[in-house]
Amino acid sequence: MSIIEGKNNAIGQSEKGPFLAPLGIYAKSSSLPEGRGFQTEGLVSPKIDKETGEVIQEQKEYCPVTTRLERYILQSSARKALSGSKVTRIKACFRLRQKAAEISVRRSKEHNTCAYAGLQTCASVWVCAVCAAKISERRKTELQKAIDQHKASGGDVLLLTLTNPHYLGDKLADILEGQTKALKYFNGGEMATLFNQSIGYIGSVRALEVTHGRKREVNNGWHPHYHILLFVQSRLDLDALRVKFYERWLKACIKAKMPALPDFKHGIRLDDGTKAAAYASKWGLESEMTKGHIKKANHGETPFDFLRAYAYDDDKQAAALFREFAETFKGKRQLYWSPGLKAMFDLEEVTDDELAAQQDDQAAILGYIELDDWVRILKADVRGEILELARYGWEPVERFLLELKRQYEVKK
C-alpha cells in the first residue's frame, strides 16, 4: 500500500494552523499510523470519537487522528486481501462516485469532523472499517434505547454467551454451520417456549462474534460464539438459570451432531447487564454486542486485528485468515432481533445500506474534488489525510492537491 511520506511530515502545525510540508517519496506503510505524517505527541485519548460517536478503547498510544486514518488504512488492506474474492462491494467503497454525483467534502458544524459525499459505500460491517464504525455506532444506539426502556419498565437484560469446542484445522464455515443448526434446536420446541414464559421473556437480540487463537499458547483456531441479549423479568436466579440454559444447549448440540460437545465451564456464560466480563464492562453491554469484530481482542485476534497485521507488518497469513472470515460471513447479519422486539421499543427498521449512506444534515460543504485530483488521491492512498486537512478549512486541501499534482507531474 503506497502512501506519501518523507523526511518532513506531509501535514504539520504552525501558529496559524496546518501547513503543507514537502511531500516525500512513495514508500511502504510504516508500522505505526504516525508514519503517515501526523504528530501524536501530547494528544489525550478521548472516550468518544466525535466523527461517528464511537466509543474508543483507551490506549496509551491512542490518537484521535490516527484512529480515523486507520479506518482508511484497514479498508485499503481489506481490498488488497480480498482481491479476486467473491466479496466485491468494498472495492468501490469511498472510491467510486454515486452515478454522476460530484465528490465533495462536508464538515460537521457540531463536531468539526469531515466526511466525503457523492461516493459509493459498501455497508459491510464485517470487512470495511469505515462503514463498520458508522453502522455499528447506530446499531449500538438502538440497543441502548431498548435496554434503557426495558429496565425502566422493571425488567432485566441478561447476556447469554454460547459456544462449543473447536480445534486448529477446523474450517470456520464448518463450525458456523454446526452452531447454526444447534441454535435452531436451542430456540425451538415446546420446552423452549414454556421455559421462556417462566422467565418473562419478551424477546432477544443475537450477535455473532469470532476470534482466532493463532497467537495464543494453545492455538485452537477459529472461535465463533453467540452473544444473546435476553429481555426478561428481573430478579431471576442466574446460577440456576445458567444450568437450565446449559442443559438446553448441550441437547441442541447433540441433536445437531456437533463433533465436540460444550462443557459447563466453557460452553456457556450468563451475566446480567452490570456483571459481564471485564472487556464487556469496559465497553458497555451494548458495545459488546456491536463492536466485537472491530475492537482489539484481549485473547486471540479479531478479523480487524488481521487487517492491522497485514497493513503494518505485511502478514500474509493474517490476510489469508481475513479472507476466509470475509467469505464465510458474506451476507450474514450483524444483529438479529427477535420478531416484534424493535416495534415494542418504537425502533425504526433501517438497513445497513441506509445507515452507511446517511449524511449529516447539519454538515456544510467545504469544497468539491475534481476527478483528476480524486484519481491522484486514490493512487497516493491519502483519503483519510484529506479529511483531516479539511478540518482546518478548504485552503489546506487545495494546497495539498496542488502539491500532489506537482509530484505526479515531476514523476512523469
User: By the 8 A CB rule, do 27 and 37 touch?
Assistant: no
Strand partners, 14: 17
Mapped onto helix, strand or coil, the DSSP state of residue 235 is: coil
Strand partners, 157: 231
Residue tagged 489469508 (cell numbers): 320
Where are the strands (E) in 5-148, listed by range? Answer: 11-14, 17-20, 26-28, 48-49, 54-55, 103-108, 114-117
Task: Using 70 as the pLDDT threshold, list the residues of the chain that sit under it.
Answer: 1-66, 273-299
The three cell numbers of residue 95 are 472510491
Residue tagged 494528544 (cell numbers): 43
User: By the 8 A CB rule, do 154 and 280 touch?
Assistant: no
User: By the 8 A CB rule, do 178 and 259 touch?
Assistant: yes
Q: How far is CA 293 from CA 212, 256, 348, 375, in A?
A: 11, 26, 24, 31
Predicted confidence at residue 21, as pLDDT, reads 44
Please give the model's pTM, rounded to 2 decimal places: 0.82
CA 362 to chain centre: 25
d(CA 168, CA 219): 6
Q: Work out the widest C-alpha separation in the chain, in whole angstroms.
A: 75
Using CA of residue 136, residue 343, residue 362, residue 44, what is the dihedral sign?
A: negative
Residues ≥6 apart with Cβ < 8 Å to 93 = 75, 119, 120, 121, 122, 124, 128, 130, 131
User: By the 8 A CB rule, do 39 and 11 touch?
Assistant: no
User: By the 8 A CB rule, do 350 and 358 touch?
Assistant: no
> 4-36, pLDDT tens digit by residue?
333 233 444 444 444 444 343 232 333 333 334
The CA dihedral of 298, 302, 304, 310, to the nearest 10 degrees, is: 90
**Degrees to nearest 5, angle at CA 210 with 247 and 67:** 140
